[in-house]
Amino acid sequence: MAPISTPQTPFGRVLTAMVTPFTADGALDIEGAQRLATHLVDAGNDGLIINGTTGESPTTSDAEKDQLVRAVLEAVGDRAHVVAGIGTNDTRHSVELARTAERSGAHGLLAVTPYYNKPPQEGLLRHFTAIADSTGLPVMLYDIPGRSGVPIDTETLVRLAEHPHIVANKDAKGDLGRASWAIARSGLAWYSGDDMLNLPLLSVGAVGLVSVVGHVVTPELRALIEAHLGGDVQKATEIHQKLLPVFTGMFRTQGVITTKAALTLQGLPAGPLRLPLVELTAQETAQLKIDLAAGGVQL
Protein backbone atom coordinates (compact mmCIF):
# COMPACT_ATOMS: atom_id res chain seq x y z
CA MET A 1 0.00 0.00 0.00
CA ALA A 2 1.36 3.42 -0.97
CA PRO A 3 1.87 6.16 1.60
CA ILE A 4 -1.10 8.36 2.42
CA SER A 5 -1.78 11.01 -0.20
CA THR A 6 -4.19 13.91 -0.36
CA PRO A 7 -6.00 15.52 -3.31
CA GLN A 8 -3.52 18.38 -2.95
CA THR A 9 -0.47 16.06 -2.97
CA PRO A 10 -1.63 12.86 -4.71
CA PHE A 11 1.93 11.57 -5.17
CA GLY A 12 3.60 13.24 -2.19
CA ARG A 13 5.88 16.25 -2.54
CA VAL A 14 9.36 15.00 -3.50
CA LEU A 15 9.70 12.44 -6.27
CA THR A 16 12.77 11.43 -8.23
CA ALA A 17 12.58 10.32 -11.85
CA MET A 18 14.77 7.26 -11.36
CA VAL A 19 17.40 6.06 -13.81
CA THR A 20 17.30 2.43 -14.88
CA PRO A 21 20.44 0.59 -13.77
CA PHE A 22 21.97 -1.80 -16.29
CA THR A 23 24.61 -4.49 -15.87
CA ALA A 24 28.02 -4.19 -17.52
CA ASP A 25 26.69 -6.02 -20.59
CA GLY A 26 23.69 -3.69 -20.89
CA ALA A 27 21.01 -5.95 -19.40
CA LEU A 28 18.45 -4.78 -16.88
CA ASP A 29 19.95 -4.76 -13.37
CA ILE A 30 16.98 -5.69 -11.19
CA GLU A 31 18.96 -6.00 -7.98
CA GLY A 32 20.64 -2.67 -8.67
CA ALA A 33 17.28 -1.03 -9.34
CA GLN A 34 15.97 -2.26 -6.01
CA ARG A 35 19.06 -1.01 -4.18
CA LEU A 36 18.85 2.38 -5.86
CA ALA A 37 15.12 2.70 -5.17
CA THR A 38 15.71 1.85 -1.50
CA HIS A 39 18.51 4.41 -1.30
CA LEU A 40 16.33 7.13 -2.81
CA VAL A 41 13.39 6.47 -0.52
CA ASP A 42 15.69 6.30 2.49
CA ALA A 43 17.02 9.71 1.45
CA GLY A 44 13.54 11.19 1.70
CA ASN A 45 11.67 10.67 -1.56
CA ASP A 46 7.90 10.29 -1.26
CA GLY A 47 7.79 8.58 -4.61
CA LEU A 48 9.70 7.40 -7.65
CA ILE A 49 8.94 7.72 -11.33
CA ILE A 50 9.89 4.45 -13.03
CA ASN A 51 10.25 4.10 -16.81
CA GLY A 52 10.30 7.82 -17.51
CA THR A 53 12.68 9.38 -19.99
CA THR A 54 15.31 9.53 -17.23
CA GLY A 55 14.79 5.78 -16.95
CA GLU A 56 15.77 5.44 -20.64
CA SER A 57 12.25 4.32 -21.51
CA PRO A 58 12.79 4.83 -25.26
CA THR A 59 15.31 1.97 -25.22
CA THR A 60 13.71 -0.49 -22.78
CA SER A 61 11.26 -3.15 -23.88
CA ASP A 62 7.72 -3.48 -22.56
CA ALA A 63 8.78 -6.62 -20.71
CA GLU A 64 11.69 -4.79 -19.08
CA LYS A 65 9.39 -1.96 -18.07
CA ASP A 66 7.06 -4.42 -16.37
CA GLN A 67 9.94 -6.17 -14.61
CA LEU A 68 11.24 -2.88 -13.34
CA VAL A 69 7.89 -1.70 -11.94
CA ARG A 70 7.39 -4.99 -10.14
CA ALA A 71 10.92 -4.97 -8.72
CA VAL A 72 10.68 -1.41 -7.39
CA LEU A 73 7.26 -2.11 -5.90
CA GLU A 74 8.73 -5.11 -4.10
CA ALA A 75 11.56 -2.97 -2.74
CA VAL A 76 9.76 0.22 -1.68
CA GLY A 77 6.10 -0.03 -2.63
CA ASP A 78 4.96 -0.13 0.98
CA ARG A 79 6.50 3.26 1.78
CA ALA A 80 6.66 5.28 -1.44
CA HIS A 81 4.48 6.06 -4.43
CA VAL A 82 5.67 4.03 -7.42
CA VAL A 83 4.54 5.86 -10.56
CA ALA A 84 4.98 4.14 -13.91
CA GLY A 85 5.87 6.11 -17.00
CA ILE A 86 3.60 4.83 -19.78
CA GLY A 87 3.71 7.68 -22.28
CA THR A 88 4.46 7.07 -25.95
CA ASN A 89 3.43 8.76 -29.20
CA ASP A 90 1.05 5.87 -29.92
CA THR A 91 -2.16 6.04 -27.91
CA ARG A 92 -2.92 2.32 -28.20
CA HIS A 93 0.57 1.43 -26.99
CA SER A 94 0.27 3.86 -24.07
CA VAL A 95 -3.06 2.31 -23.08
CA GLU A 96 -1.47 -1.16 -23.16
CA LEU A 97 1.40 0.03 -20.96
CA ALA A 98 -1.06 1.69 -18.57
CA ARG A 99 -3.07 -1.49 -18.16
CA THR A 100 0.08 -3.54 -17.64
CA ALA A 101 1.33 -1.10 -15.00
CA GLU A 102 -1.98 -1.31 -13.17
CA ARG A 103 -1.89 -5.12 -13.21
CA SER A 104 1.65 -4.97 -11.84
CA GLY A 105 0.49 -2.87 -8.89
CA ALA A 106 1.77 0.60 -9.79
CA HIS A 107 0.29 3.38 -7.69
CA GLY A 108 -0.03 5.88 -10.52
CA LEU A 109 0.86 6.72 -14.12
CA LEU A 110 2.99 9.39 -15.78
CA ALA A 111 1.83 10.22 -19.31
CA VAL A 112 4.09 12.43 -21.40
CA THR A 113 2.81 14.50 -24.32
CA PRO A 114 3.05 12.42 -27.51
CA TYR A 115 6.34 13.34 -29.15
CA TYR A 116 7.47 13.88 -32.72
CA ASN A 117 4.09 13.41 -34.45
CA LYS A 118 2.92 16.86 -33.16
CA PRO A 119 -0.81 16.25 -32.62
CA PRO A 120 -3.20 19.20 -32.31
CA GLN A 121 -4.79 19.99 -28.96
CA GLU A 122 -7.84 17.84 -29.76
CA GLY A 123 -5.48 14.93 -30.34
CA LEU A 124 -3.82 15.54 -26.97
CA LEU A 125 -7.21 15.67 -25.29
CA ARG A 126 -8.28 12.36 -26.79
CA HIS A 127 -4.90 10.73 -26.16
CA PHE A 128 -4.77 11.55 -22.44
CA THR A 129 -8.47 10.79 -22.00
CA ALA A 130 -8.03 7.35 -23.56
CA ILE A 131 -5.22 6.60 -21.10
CA ALA A 132 -7.21 7.86 -18.12
CA ASP A 133 -10.26 5.86 -19.23
CA SER A 134 -8.25 2.65 -19.51
CA THR A 135 -7.39 2.17 -15.82
CA GLY A 136 -8.45 3.22 -12.35
CA LEU A 137 -5.04 4.69 -11.51
CA PRO A 138 -4.38 8.38 -10.91
CA VAL A 139 -2.62 10.03 -13.84
CA MET A 140 0.04 12.72 -13.85
CA LEU A 141 0.34 14.50 -17.18
CA TYR A 142 3.84 15.49 -18.33
CA ASP A 143 4.07 18.73 -20.30
CA ILE A 144 7.53 19.11 -21.85
CA PRO A 145 7.29 20.85 -25.23
CA GLY A 146 11.08 21.08 -25.58
CA ARG A 147 11.10 17.32 -26.10
CA SER A 148 7.61 16.60 -27.38
CA GLY A 149 7.36 19.54 -29.77
CA VAL A 150 3.83 20.39 -28.59
CA PRO A 151 2.77 22.16 -25.38
CA ILE A 152 -0.42 21.24 -23.57
CA ASP A 153 -2.41 24.46 -23.80
CA THR A 154 -4.05 25.85 -20.68
CA GLU A 155 -7.53 25.27 -22.11
CA THR A 156 -6.64 21.63 -22.75
CA LEU A 157 -5.31 21.22 -19.22
CA VAL A 158 -8.54 22.68 -17.83
CA ARG A 159 -10.61 20.22 -19.87
CA LEU A 160 -8.40 17.26 -18.93
CA ALA A 161 -8.68 18.17 -15.25
CA GLU A 162 -12.39 17.34 -15.44
CA HIS A 163 -11.46 13.66 -15.77
CA PRO A 164 -11.57 12.02 -12.32
CA HIS A 165 -8.37 10.07 -12.92
CA ILE A 166 -6.27 13.00 -14.17
CA VAL A 167 -5.06 14.57 -10.95
CA ALA A 168 -1.67 16.19 -11.57
CA ASN A 169 0.68 17.77 -14.06
CA LYS A 170 4.46 17.64 -14.27
CA ASP A 171 5.45 21.01 -15.68
CA ALA A 172 8.62 21.29 -17.76
CA LYS A 173 7.27 24.06 -19.96
CA GLY A 174 9.50 26.74 -18.44
CA ASP A 175 6.79 29.40 -18.51
CA LEU A 176 5.80 30.69 -15.06
CA GLY A 177 3.04 32.89 -16.43
CA ARG A 178 1.28 30.05 -18.22
CA ALA A 179 1.85 27.81 -15.20
CA SER A 180 0.22 30.39 -12.93
CA TRP A 181 -2.91 30.53 -15.05
CA ALA A 182 -3.09 26.76 -15.50
CA ILE A 183 -2.70 26.09 -11.77
CA ALA A 184 -5.40 28.63 -10.93
CA ARG A 185 -7.87 27.42 -13.55
CA SER A 186 -7.35 23.65 -13.64
CA GLY A 187 -7.03 22.77 -9.97
CA LEU A 188 -4.52 20.06 -10.89
CA ALA A 189 -1.80 19.20 -8.39
CA TRP A 190 1.23 20.88 -9.94
CA TYR A 191 4.71 19.34 -9.86
CA SER A 192 7.85 21.07 -11.03
CA GLY A 193 9.54 19.11 -13.80
CA ASP A 194 12.46 21.51 -14.16
CA ASP A 195 14.90 21.51 -11.23
CA MET A 196 16.13 25.04 -11.85
CA LEU A 197 12.52 26.24 -11.49
CA ASN A 198 11.57 24.20 -8.41
CA LEU A 199 11.34 27.19 -6.09
CA PRO A 200 9.76 29.59 -8.61
CA LEU A 201 7.06 27.03 -9.44
CA LEU A 202 6.38 26.43 -5.74
CA SER A 203 5.93 30.17 -5.38
CA VAL A 204 3.08 30.21 -7.94
CA GLY A 205 1.26 27.18 -6.58
CA ALA A 206 3.14 23.95 -7.28
CA VAL A 207 2.76 21.35 -4.52
CA GLY A 208 5.92 19.37 -5.17
CA LEU A 209 8.51 18.32 -7.68
CA VAL A 210 9.61 15.49 -9.91
CA SER A 211 13.37 15.82 -9.90
CA VAL A 212 16.43 14.50 -11.66
CA VAL A 213 18.90 16.02 -9.20
CA GLY A 214 16.97 14.23 -6.47
CA HIS A 215 19.33 11.34 -7.18
CA VAL A 216 22.02 13.29 -5.30
CA VAL A 217 20.31 16.03 -3.22
CA THR A 218 16.95 14.74 -2.00
CA PRO A 219 17.45 15.95 1.61
CA GLU A 220 18.15 19.47 0.37
CA LEU A 221 15.07 19.42 -1.86
CA ARG A 222 12.93 18.34 1.07
CA ALA A 223 14.39 21.13 3.17
CA LEU A 224 13.63 23.63 0.40
CA ILE A 225 9.99 22.57 0.24
CA GLU A 226 9.62 22.55 4.01
CA ALA A 227 11.09 26.04 4.26
CA HIS A 228 8.73 27.26 1.55
CA LEU A 229 5.70 25.67 3.21
CA GLY A 230 6.77 27.13 6.55
CA GLY A 231 6.93 30.62 5.11
CA ASP A 232 10.70 30.93 5.49
CA VAL A 233 11.39 32.59 2.17
CA GLN A 234 14.97 33.45 3.05
CA LYS A 235 15.89 29.86 3.92
CA ALA A 236 14.18 28.48 0.82
CA THR A 237 16.07 30.99 -1.31
CA GLU A 238 19.37 30.12 0.36
CA ILE A 239 18.86 26.41 -0.36
CA HIS A 240 17.88 27.17 -3.95
CA GLN A 241 21.00 29.26 -4.44
CA LYS A 242 23.23 26.65 -2.82
CA LEU A 243 21.93 24.07 -5.30
CA LEU A 244 22.45 26.21 -8.40
CA PRO A 245 25.79 24.53 -9.27
CA VAL A 246 24.09 21.13 -9.03
CA PHE A 247 21.17 22.22 -11.20
CA THR A 248 23.62 23.56 -13.76
CA GLY A 249 26.10 20.72 -13.62
CA MET A 250 23.56 17.93 -13.94
CA PHE A 251 22.21 19.42 -17.17
CA ARG A 252 25.40 20.49 -18.96
CA THR A 253 24.59 17.55 -21.20
CA GLN A 254 21.69 15.10 -21.29
CA GLY A 255 20.46 14.48 -17.73
CA VAL A 256 20.52 10.69 -17.75
CA ILE A 257 24.17 10.74 -18.76
CA THR A 258 25.25 13.02 -15.92
CA THR A 259 22.99 11.29 -13.38
CA LYS A 260 24.45 7.87 -14.08
CA ALA A 261 27.94 9.35 -13.87
CA ALA A 262 27.13 11.00 -10.52
CA LEU A 263 25.69 7.79 -9.10
CA THR A 264 28.75 5.84 -10.24
CA LEU A 265 31.00 8.40 -8.52
CA GLN A 266 29.00 7.79 -5.33
CA GLY A 267 29.24 4.00 -5.64
CA LEU A 268 25.53 3.57 -6.32
CA PRO A 269 23.89 1.33 -8.97
CA ALA A 270 23.72 2.89 -12.41
CA GLY A 271 25.72 1.00 -14.99
CA PRO A 272 26.17 1.90 -18.65
CA LEU A 273 23.81 3.75 -20.98
CA ARG A 274 22.04 2.40 -23.99
CA LEU A 275 22.70 4.04 -27.33
CA PRO A 276 22.12 6.67 -28.57
CA LEU A 277 23.15 7.96 -25.10
CA VAL A 278 26.87 7.82 -24.38
CA GLU A 279 29.06 8.17 -21.29
CA LEU A 280 30.65 11.42 -20.19
CA THR A 281 34.16 12.15 -21.39
CA ALA A 282 36.94 12.44 -18.82
CA GLN A 283 36.79 16.23 -19.15
CA GLU A 284 33.02 16.27 -18.64
CA THR A 285 33.34 14.01 -15.61
CA ALA A 286 35.92 16.34 -14.08
CA GLN A 287 33.54 19.29 -14.59
CA LEU A 288 30.68 17.33 -13.04
CA LYS A 289 32.78 16.69 -9.94
CA ILE A 290 33.48 20.43 -9.66
CA ASP A 291 29.79 21.30 -10.07
CA LEU A 292 28.61 18.75 -7.51
CA ALA A 293 31.25 19.74 -4.98
CA ALA A 294 30.27 23.41 -5.38
CA GLY A 295 26.72 22.42 -4.45
CA GLY A 296 27.83 20.46 -1.40
CA VAL A 297 27.44 16.96 -2.81
CA GLN A 298 29.79 14.44 -1.23
CA LEU A 299 31.52 12.08 -3.69
Q: What is the DSSP string of 175-225?
A: -HHHHHHHHHHH--EEEE--GGGHHHHHHTT--EEEESTHHHHHHHHHHHH
What is the distance, to the nearest Å, from the Cα of residue 133 to the centroid of all Cα atoms in its chain? 22
The β-bridge partners of 22 are 28
Do the annotations mark residue 83 as ligand-binding?
Answer: no
Give the C-alpha separation, 281 to 224, whole Å. Answer: 32
Task: Check: CB of residue 46 under 8 Å from CB of residue 16.
Answer: no
Q: Is 60 annotated as a binding residue?
A: no
Residues labelled as active-site residues: 142, 170
Pair 191, 9: CB distance under 8 Å? no
CB 104 within 8 A of CB 73: yes
Question: How far apart are the C-alpha atoms of 5 and 12, rounded to whole Å?
Answer: 6
Q: Which residues contribute to the annotated binding site for pyruvate? A: 54, 210
Q: Which residues contribute to the annotated binding site? A: 54, 210
